[in-house]
Chains A and B, each alone.
Chain A
């Protein structure tokens, strides 16, 4: 523990944050080593900024702890934390010039100085920094960001890149233990951004302090970080080095979000054997036989060859020139495979493809079926996930049937009123369809995720009220954030009674 504490500068322990019943951060645990460059990466709304704000102290966790050097700082106000932030839109003080902006933190600072009185006794005094000290520190900070001589300039006269540098100088001049950066390069143009990435990385090396960086730009994250924390939906999806998260994504979300990828549904057919795209491949991951898995292959890892020499054979359906490489889409049976290669192929050409065993990455499937808690209504329908669906209630009691008054009669001839019965509802991934007619289905929600899996899309629809997810496969392309209704055929809803014995007891 003590060794852990000395090594680790900040630690989030099971942190939960909700705003007015909306869960934003869902049990996040994270530890950051001293001097590390950590990036929180994820799409907008994934909770990365909220996590940063909790470390800075602007938001307080609903539950859980934030430890700084082993001490709990969860409830400490931001001005008491040895942490400084570079804000997304810089948040420079418009009424102060560059010097006063950078000196702001230094002027707030109080240091304890030790003096010796004439009798030779030591005493301490809490004092402000002197003007000369402040001026020297500001000058050094300006040198650090290459803005020597800008002291007297007004903020409004600076360009975006210069404002960015002032914002960084204003934070690092306080010598924080941790520097937090909230999408600091978001407002800059591409070229400027690339330059600042390199400068920030160099600054990190020179200062030797911990950087926690928030971005939605996966390339930025991979280029700059020691460790990448991939977040989605308020949950940490994966923590690892840039190489790890790229080569060994923990799930389909990470694979889809970071870099380009081919994602297929597959089955493990034996020891280090996996079947997808209608072929069995050798691979390097060990899974249980017959386990349903997700398979990820990066486009640049697919090797093109003569048609008869390849494991897979298909027809090129599109070729796009991307500068350094061509992006070639190949139709293999009913699957689409994307390849990145410096070699050019013609549309219509038939080619063969091989995938080296170490480039096939296999992941446990997160979703195998949808399971909900439901309640039977008096109309013999079932309510779950903010919706009401028609179902066959006779499956709850083998051999039962419904009488003319719609009461359930069991095989023993017992009449049961099912109203209010709690059941577990199971729906397969293939059994859900959606419609943009809100009235067509039993429940409504917004599409929160779409992932292409070679021959179909895996879509997740989330209901608005209780945020239940419907996961399913579809051939149609929808858009994220579409408002749709969920249709489930009556015979595809599988019901089982929930702890009936306990209830009876």
Chain B
């Protein structure tokens, strides 16, 4: 009995530590006052502000456009890369696999600085393009990593079987090989979106000064003594809450459909 209680207490403590800060934010996002600690009354003020402030809306739009385009491009690049590596000879394979690990292990600040210097060196002015490149640099290796295991799981003779049945190499790739690795591609894409969405370091080093994503905006708002800091910040509580709810929904959906599929398979 005591053991059971301790177990429950332990789990509860961990969950509390993990989620209390977010919950706190969520609660205060419905506060009518702009300071944490004093409760005015329940209101949607912050939410209304969030959806009316053009600067905030633009910055959210920027973040989403950047994340989606970086994820799409890195998924294409990473998938092609994984296939290239997979079908290479052994030496080239090890070499490229190693090269793929470096951006992952490397400290992000080093990658960011290196990118910034390179852009200056080749005379590229900071623009959406350089920012996009920066995000692709951090996303692509993860796509490669998530596609690779699916390729390894695939029966090698499937591609040959497709050729044997008269498919051209391109058709064999799209009709037979790709369908086998779709789960890896999807998880790579999701990973890329998440990485791009919350990246600050690479973004701040490669973005043009007038361009802001959520992370750079929040950072600027919290560090520099801006006039409307307090007001803006409070609308971020609302934004954070929305993001959290969306993620919660996505995770729940993924888990439930996953469970259903498993049940279906078991039935068959």
Contacts and interface: CB of A to CB of B under 8 A. Distances in A.
Interface of A: 56-58, 77-79, 83-85, 87-89, 91-95, 104-105, 108-109, 154, 157, 170-171, 174
A83 B160 CA distance: 13
B157 A89 contact: yes
A77 B163 CA distance: 8
B165 A170 contact: yes
B131 to A, nearest CB: 37
Interface of B: 155, 157-158, 160-169, 171-172, 175-176, 179-180, 268
Given A84-B164, A91-B161, 6 more contacts: A58-B160, A79-B164, A88-B157, A89-B155, A93-B162, A104-B165
A93 B180 CA distance: 9
B161 A56 contact: no
A78 B180 CA distance: 21
Given A91-B155, A93-B176, A95-B180, A78 B160 contact: yes
A85 B166 CA distance: 11
Contacts of A83: 164
Nearest to A96: B179
A51 to B, nearest CB: 16
Which of A105, A109, A171 has the most chain B CB atoms closer than 10 A to its own CB?
A105
B90 to A, nearest CB: 10
Interface centre among B163, B168, B171, B172, by most chain A C-beta atoms within 10 angstroms, is: B163
Nearest to B166: A108
9 A-B pairs with least C-beta separation: A105-B165, A108-B166, A91-B157, A91-B161, A95-B179, A78-B163, A85-B164, A87-B157, A79-B163
A30 B164 CA distance: 22
A87 B161 CA distance: 8
Nearest to B175: A104
Contacts of A108: 165-167, 171
A89 B167 CA distance: 20
B165 A174 contact: yes
A156 to B, nearest CB: 8
Contacts of B155: 89, 91
16 contacts: A79-B164, A79-B166, A79-B167, A85-B160, A85-B161, A87-B157, A87-B160, A88-B157, A89-B155, A92-B161, A93-B161, A93-B162, A93-B176, A108-B165, A108-B166, A108-B167
B165 A91 contact: no
Nearest to B167: A108
B171 A78 contact: no
B157 A105 contact: no
A259 to B, nearest CB: 32
A89 B172 CA distance: 18
A56 B163 CA distance: 10
B176 A79 contact: no
A132 B249 CA distance: 45
A171 B157 CA distance: 14
Contacts of A171: 164
A111 to B, nearest CB: 12
A91 B158 contact: yes
A84 B165 CA distance: 7
Given A94-B180, A95-B180, A109 B157 contact: no
Contacts of A84: 164-165
A326 B172 CA distance: 54
A112 to B, nearest CB: 15
B154 to A, nearest CB: 9
A91 to B, nearest CB: 4
Listed residue (B158, B171, B180) with the most chain A CB atoms within 10 angstroms of its CB: B158
Interface centre among B166, B168, B172 (most CB of A within 10 A): B166
A93 B160 contact: no
A78 B172 CA distance: 12
Nearest to B165: A105
Contacts of B169: 77, 79
Nearest to B172: A79
A56 B164 contact: yes
A83 B161 CA distance: 11
A47 B2 CA distance: 68
A78 B158 contact: no
A79 B175 CA distance: 14
A355 B161 CA distance: 51
Contacts of A174: 165-166
A93 B158 contact: yes
A105 B160 contact: no
A406 to B, nearest CB: 45
A77 B170 CA distance: 13
Contacts of B179: 93, 95
B160 A79 contact: no
B66 to A, nearest CB: 33
Contacts of A77: 163, 169
B166 to A, nearest CB: 4
B166 A109 contact: yes
B127 to A, nearest CB: 41
B172 to A, nearest CB: 8
Nearest to B168: A79
Contacts of A92: 161
A154 B265 CA distance: 11
A190 B4 CA distance: 54
A57 B162 CA distance: 12
Contacts of A88: 157
A105 B166 CA distance: 6
A87 B167 CA distance: 16
A213 to B, nearest CB: 16
Contacts of B160: 56, 58, 78, 85, 87, 91
Contacts of B268: 154, 157
A94 B179 CA distance: 9
Contacts of A57: 163
B173 to A, nearest CB: 12
A355 B155 CA distance: 52
B88 to A, nearest CB: 14
A234 to B, nearest CB: 21
Contacts of B175: 104
Contacts of A154: 268
Contacts of B157: 87-89, 91
A76 to B, nearest CB: 11
A154 B158 CA distance: 16
Contacts of B165: 79, 84, 104-105, 108, 170, 174
